Amino acid sequence: MTPLDLWLSRSIPMCLLLQSLVLMALCFPSASMCPKGCACQHADHPLHGLNVTCSLSRLREIPPDLPLDTVLLQLDRNHIQAVPDRAFQGLRALRRLNLSHNAVETLGEGAFAGLEASLEVLDLSHNRIVSVHKDAFTRLKARVLVHDNPWHCDCALQQALGGMAHNHEAAARVLCRSSELRDQEGRPFLAVDTDLCNLAHRTTDYAMLVTMFGWFAMVISYVVYYVRQNQEDARRHLEYLKSLPSKPRKPDEPEDITTVV
Ligand SMILES: *[C@@H]1O[C@H](CO)[C@@H](O)[C@H](O)[C@H]1NC(C)=O
Ligand SMILES: *[C@@H]1O[C@H](CO)[C@@H](O)[C@H](O)[C@H]1NC(C)=O
């Protein structure tokens, strides 16, 4: 065996091995990549997919590179302030999403778009949520936990809760920090049984009525003023006529001209 034969017989298997490793890394990027600050492991039986845990990682936003086969996603106890529209799009297997103990303030229409079919539990408790888009939870089949947030109870919240599958459970734990209705402030959302959406209509109706009444009052007072002014003029005119030297009276003429006015 020449040295060249020896070198070839050793290096060809090595080359093949190296090549297949490179190919594997290229073909399964999601399986080998875990977002920074997170731990990824295969979820316990019977779930098939990844258990991605990013709890307590000082995250300020939702990681953009979440593995597509994530079934459990723990994002709790971070500093996440916003859930952008379609933040979880593509995670078709996601069943549980925990966003509790963050700093989320508001939720837009498409925040959970793409999760309608798979999501079972969504934990949004202990955030700073004041308001949500009226369709933020529509078509989600998940149990949504929204307690311990500084809610502003208004028509949009009523509509958002109305569109949820497990709406009564969620609504039962909403405490109104502020509200369209004064007497609802600091009280549970369900304690006051008022349609907050019709309330808004009633307020605009009321404002309209007040404005119309204002205009009406202005017109009436102008008319009254005008009539008064004219009466005054007429009276002065009559007095002037009376003060004129009187002509010799015809026999059938009435005594006093003021009776006509
Ligand atoms: C997911 O991972 C966390 C920690 O990484 C573990 O505590 C938890 O039990 C796991 N859950 C499942 C269902 O695999
Ligand atoms: C989400 O995480 C918190 C801990 O930060 C935990 O108390 C809560 O039970 C979790 N929610 C769900 C639905 O697992």
Any atom of ligand 2 within 6 Å of the Cβ of 76:
yes
Buried b (16+ CB within 10 A) or exposed e, 74-95: bbbbbebebbeeebbeebebbb
Atom from ligand 2 closest to the CA of residue 96: 13
Q: What is the pLDDT of residue 15?
A: 45
Contact 165, 139 (CB under 8 A): no
Which amino acid is located at 247 in the chain? K
Q: How many angstroms separate the CA atoms of 117 and 121, rounded?
A: 12
Higher pLDDT, 203 or 99: 99
Contact 49, 43 (CB under 8 A): yes
The mean pLDDT of 166-173, rounded to a whole number, is: 88
Q: What is the pLDDT of residue 33?
A: 87
Contact 123, 98 (CB under 8 A): yes
User: Residue of the nearest CA to atom 14 in ligand 2?
Assistant: 98
Residues 6+ apart with CB under 8 A from 42: 49, 50, 51
Contact 117, 95 (CB under 8 A): no
Q: Predicted confidence band at 254 (pLDDT cuts at 50, 70, 90)? A: low
Q: What is the pLDDT of residue 208?
A: 83
With the CA atoms of 72, 46, 147 and 117 taken in that order, what torsion angle do they form, in degrees rounded to the nearest 10? 80
pLDDT, one tens digit per residue, over 181-229 is: 888 899 999 887 888 888 766 667 778 888 888 898 898 888 888 888 8
123 C-alpha to ligand 2 centroid (Å)? 7
Q: How many angstroms separate the CA atoms of 160 and 109, rounded?
A: 10
Any atom of ligand 1 within 6 Å of the Cβ of 51:
yes
Closest CA to 72 of 101, 41, 95: 95
What is the CA 93 to chain-centroid distance, rounded? 26
Higher pLDDT, 205 or 162: 162
What is the CA 220 to chain-centroid distance, rounded? 45
Atom from ligand 2 closest to the CA of residue 101: 5
CATH number of 29-193: 3.80.10.10
78 C-alpha to ligand 2 centroid (Å)? 13
Contact 136, 160 (CB under 8 A): yes
Any atom of ligand 2 within 6 Å of the Cβ of 98:
yes
Which amino acid is located at 256 in the chain? D
Domain boundaries, the chain: 29-193, 195-239
Higher pLDDT, 108 or 28: 108
Residue 29 reports pLDDT greater than 50: no
Contact 88, 65 (CB under 8 A): no
The mean pLDDT of 8-34, rounded to a whole number, is: 54
43 C-alpha to ligand 1 centroid (Å)? 7
**Mutation test of ligand 1: which of 42, 53, 73, 77 has the most ligand atoms closer than 8 Å to its C-beta?**
53
Average pLDDT along the chain? 84
Any atom of ligand 2 within 6 Å of the Cβ of 78:
no
Q: What is the pLDDT of residue 26?
A: 47
Q: What is the pLDDT of residue 49?
A: 95
